[in-house]
Structure 1
Amino acid sequence: MDIFNFYMPTRLFFGQGAVKKLARAKLPAGKGLIITGGTSTTRLGYVDKVAGALREGGHETIVYNKVQPNPTIEGVRECAALCRAEGCTFVAGLGGGSSIDTAKAVAIMATNEGDWWDYIHGGTGKGQRIKNDGLPLIAIPTTAGTGTEADPWTVVTNGEEKIGGGGDKCFPTISVVDPGFMMTVPPHLTAYQGFDALFHACEGYIATCASPVSEMFSLKAVELIAGALPEAVHNGGNADARADVALGSTLAGFVETLSSCTGEHAIEHALSAYHPALPHGAGLIMISEAYWKRFFASSGERLTALSRAMGKKDAAAPEDFIACLQSLRKACDVQTLRMSGYGIEPSDFGKIADNAQSTMGNLFRLDPRPLSREDIMEILAESYQ
């Protein structure tokens, strides 16, 4: 058995009402910055619940509420400037992956010199090492998809570059996964986010850096998500289904920590970098069948195991995995997604392939077999509608 590494320093609280645990959390004295986006977290009372729990623990808070669905470097800089000016001693990311990823970058910028893009490897990033620990970070997801509450990674967009970054200093100090915060996510977004989490687990299972521990989390995450996502989509008030998908997403975050995403995510990041209106999960769904077909020969046994985890207990061939994906897409009403509906054109495929390789090319090195520029363009062409 190969040597593998397990490092997961985040204290995780999971379950209905878990946000109350923040009242007794060990945090530095001083003011906290709650980082969120839009209006829903305020309108639904989540900001007040988080602020109330922290206030009970003796902490004053202020709120930054301008995070965009695809967080930008400009937003990160603005939020970091507020954090420094207010002398905040910890940060809390409340919302989808965008809010938590912004909070991770802000926590680092508050204690390190320069700009977040100085610490990005790929594209125009300067590839510097993060020297100092960031501010203590609380991650509180209101969606079940990114798993960023259980990994040390961020995704930030700078112009036409949408690049993941981070490292051990970007782990949340505390993560609170309260399924009660996820009950009102609309059906289509529930589906997109759930598929994102599913592919985190599946990609981590076939990645060349997978380990026995990551494989365990992968299969359980796939089982939970595939089993509960259709019900969560069609009956969002089903607390058990919401909790299963939330737990599956968090376990898939462990997979991202212990293994890695692969080329599927690199391709989609390039797609949504050029077309920001494209939800990340929707882009993954669009390219998934063409991408996964490339690994029948190299990863047949693993694809068969994933099929069984998705509920096809008699799976005997890698092609069964594609059938499972198709079935889950139909069950979640996302089988008719079209690239053309988001302004993507076949003439874009070359620059998308180049962007994927230049910004997140390291992920392709973890695919079970190499994917060339031509392979990427063929995946896009086969997925196009």
Structure 2
Amino acid sequence: MKNFNFHQTTEIRFGRGRIQELGQVALKYGTRAMLVTTKATVPSLEQQYQKIIKLLEASGLKVTHFDGVIPNPTLEVISAGAQMARDFNAQVIVGLGGGSSMDAAKAISVEATHAGSAWDYLFYKTPQPDASKLLPVIAVSTTSGTGSQVTQVSVITNTHERDKSALYNNILYPQVSIVDPELMLTVPEFVSATTGFDVFCHAFESTINPGTGAYVDLLAWEAISLVVENLPKVLTDLNDIEAREKMAWADTLAGLCIANAGVTLPHGIGMAIGGMYPHVAHGEALAMVYPEFAEFTWKSAISQFSRVARILNPELKQLPDDKAASESPKEIAGFLKKLKLNKSLREVGMPESEIQKLAAQSMVLPDYKGNPRVASEKEMFEIISHCY
């Protein structure tokens, strides 16, 4: 067996009804809590936010609510949240929502307690945040997608530079994550599909990343199988609590995987798409890339691509590994069609004139270097062109 590392410091509280424990959990870290969410654009969200605030207040906490998070949260969003945290003298931050809200909570914790902006503390910059200064973060996931509730990553967007990057440091793991599938019953179809496919991507890319190991492999393949079986069920019946529960578990497993192994080529491209075209959901961006990524990569990771192809289509078990692996692009495309995520870059409004620019931006983050087959500049241009 190859050597591997596995690190996790987040306390995970998983299961139906676990949200009732939020107040008691938050009270361990102080009496002044800032709730971080998106705006309540529908009545069900407003009801959810009020329920959470009441839970916190019932435990004796004073609460302020920052509802300025947007998909692909920007530096301006983080700065506004950090200012509110400072003005309120927040002692603990509760990030409630999908990846955008949980990532924003982590970045706000940094900016509220450090000089400068969160952008000054990206993964490749020095100095890194000081653990002794950070505000503790409790992550409450309401989608099954990013795994942010169990990762040390906070993704933020610099709209001025059209760049999407990340803070990445083991001190950014949430202190506690609450994963309650009942909170996910109100998530609409498109968001369920895009976040659910993100789970698939996190898990699969972890199996081909050089940082993988026996522990990650164990979690990743379980997550992939759960997504393939349960995501279509969720999209057929958004109130299927058992399928929602299994997707929440898959999301948690996949989050643990990327926290310890990491992602590869598709995520580097997906991040570039999100930075340049913020209206494109992260999972949607990954979906546009995945069949072409599989076509480009499968010969360099036959074992993993044959396995994922057979999970998607059990009839391929009769074929040799290389033949099954060669079918993976088609099987992934078929799965995306089932999820109604089979789009091109052209269909989401990307100008053809920016293919070269997107290809160059896709090589800014180091994710592509972890792919079993590393793309050259020319190959990256060809990949993006085919995705277009």
Band the TM-score falls in, shorter-chain normalisation: over 0.9
For residues 144-189 of structure 1, give each alpha carbon's deviation from its aligned partner in whole angstroms, at most 9, with x where no partner exists: 1111001110110012010122211110111111111111222122
The alignment partner of 2:363 has SS state of helix
CA distance in 2 between partners of 1:325 and 1:127 (Å): 40
Does structure 1 retain, via aligned residues, the 8 Å contact 2:291–2:330? no
Number of the residue aligned with 1:20: 20
Number of the residue aligned with 1:158: 158
1:7 aligns with 2:7: yes
1:138 to partner: Cα distance: 0.7
Give the letter aligned to residue 272 of structure 1. Answer: G
Unaligned 5+ segments in structure 1 are: none
**CA distance 1:354–1:128, change in 2 (3 Å):** farther
Number of the residue aligned with 1:328: 335
1:351 aligns with 2:351: no
Number of the residue aligned with 2:83: 81
**CA distance 1:164–1:281, change in 2 (3 Å):** same
1:327 to partner: Cα distance: 2.7
Does structure 2 retain, via aligned residues, the 8 Å contact 1:223–1:311? no
Give the letter aligned to residue 327 of structure 1. Answer: G
1:67-78 correspondence runs (5 A): 67-78=69-80
1:201 aligns with 2:210: no
Number of the residue aligned with 1:129: 128
1:191 to partner: Cα distance: 0.9
CA distance in 2 between partners of 1:286 and 1:19 (Å): 35
The alignment partner of 1:51 has SS state of helix
Does structure 2 retain, via aligned residues, the 8 Å contact 1:218–1:251? yes
Give the letter aligned to residue 330 of structure 1. Answer: K
CA distance in 1 between partners of 2:331 and 2:240 (Å): 23
CA distance in 1 between partners of 2:309 and 2:246 (Å): 18
Q: What is the RMSD computed on CA atoms of the aligned residues?
A: 1.7
Higher mean C-alpha displacement, 232-241 vs 111-120: 111-120
1:338 aligns with 2:344: yes
CA distance in 2 between partners of 1:9 and 1:169 (Å): 9
Number of the residue aligned with 1:364: 368
1:30 aligns with 2:53: no
Give the letter aligned to residue 385 of structure 2. Answer: A
CA distance in 2 between partners of 1:23 and 1:37 (Å): 20
Higher mean C-alpha displacement, 312-321 vs 92-101: 312-321
For residues 108-147 of structure 1, give each alpha carbon's deviation from its aligned partner in whole angstroms, at most 9, with x where no partner exists: 223333221111145xxx4432223421111111111111
Give the letter aligned to residue 381 of structure 2. Answer: M
TM-score if structure 1 supplies the norm length?
A: 0.93
Does structure 2 retain, via aligned residues, the 8 Å contact 1:213–1:258? no
TM-score if structure 2 supplies the norm length?
A: 0.93
For residues 325-364 of structure 1, give each alpha carbon's deviation from its aligned partner in whole angstroms, at most 9, with x where no partner exists: 12322322223x2322222133211111211222x1x112
Unaligned 5+ segments in structure 2 are: none
Does structure 2 retain, via aligned residues, the 8 Å contact 1:349–1:380? yes
Number of the residue aligned with 1:318: 325
Number of the residue aligned with 1:139: 139
CA distance in 1 between partners of 2:101 and 2:287 (Å): 23
CA distance in 2 between partners of 1:127 and 1:367 (Å): 26
Between the two proteins, what is the percent identity of the paired residues? Answer: 28
CA distance in 1 between partners of 2:59 and 2:28 (Å): 9
Aligned to 1:266, which of 225, 249, 268? 268
CA distance in 1 between partners of 2:254 and 2:115 (Å): 32
1:295-314 correspondence runs (5 A): 295-310=297-312, 312=314, 314=316
